[in-house]
Amino acid sequence: MSRPTARARPATRTEPPSSKAPPPAVPAPKSAARNALKVKVPRAKRFVALAGNIGAGKTTAAKLISQGFGFELFDEPVIDNRFLRDYYGDMSRWSFTLQLEFLIRRVEHHELIHSVRKSCVQDRTLYEDPEIFAKYLHGLGHMTNAELDLYYEYFQRLSRHIVRPDKVICFDVSSEDVLLQRIRTRGRAEEKGIGKQFLKGLNGYYAGFPQVLQEKYGVDCLVVDVSKQDIRRGPGREEFLDRVSAFLA
């Protein structure tokens, strides 16, 4: 006969499952908490754009939003821009040309965004050029009156039927020293000649840009002061994505 190896234990030695308190809940890891953010974003397609001075951190933010929420990313057309190096070398000669180049490329982005089914994030808005850069370059004498008028005519014609962003996140960095440091850190060769005074002038225009977006173009805008906040990692990243989630909901 075989040994009864499967003999049941006496009932008195087995505790009922309900007699023990359940183990304490283990906090969800940060990665799981971040993934949960996606469910807070409306299922309807969203078009969000980033705005801010040179070096404010728009490209980093656009990539974070794309990765964190699954949005299609539309980069600012600067890396392969055929006029950017010449522009920084001689603004009076190339400002009008560069503004037209940016206008065409950003309108193309809007057309593509309209055709894409998923939500999209755009690195720099279409509206910063006519409301900030074109006006500023004209004020500095780098664009003539005729060039500015012609630029606005092109802008009106090309942007007449495009879809506007649902939301814009505008980065505020009041310190030109911080902007310069970030520009130097990313190390784009064509930006080496950017000076503190040039950034200060742009900051003057950016101060009123959120109001222009809301009142002139009817676009809701969230202003985020990132002068001291590092959104690339750690608590700064988490806080930024939480604010974006609430803003887009």
Name the residue type at position 31: S
Q: Please check whether residue 140 lies inside any domain of the structure.
A: yes
Instruction: State the total domains in the chain.
Output: 1
Find out whether 46 is annotated in a ligand binding site: no
Mean pLDDT, residues 120-141: 97
178's CB contacts (< 8 A; 6+ apart) are 55, 227
Contact present, 61 and 240 (Cβ < 8 Å): yes
pLDDT of residue 221: 97
pLDDT of 139 above 70? yes
What range defines the domain where residue 126 resides? 44-248
Contact present, 167 and 203 (Cβ < 8 Å): no
What residues are annotated to the active site? 123
Residue that wins the pLDDT comparison between 16 and 48: 48
Closest to 87 in 3D by CA, of 50, 134, 149, 154:
134
Mean pLDDT, residues 184-197: 90
CATH of the domain at 104: 3.40.50.300
Find out whether 85 is annotated in a ligand binding site: no
Q: Please check whether residue 15 lies inside any domain of the structure.
A: no
pLDDT of residue 11: 44
Give the residue carrying structure tokens 């309209």. Answer: 114
Find out whether 97 is annotated in a ligand binding site: no
Give residue-wise pLDDT tens across range 149-162: 999 999 999 999 99
Q: Please check whether residue 20 lies inside any domain of the structure.
A: no
pLDDT of residue 41: 58
Structure token digits, residue 44: 């309807």
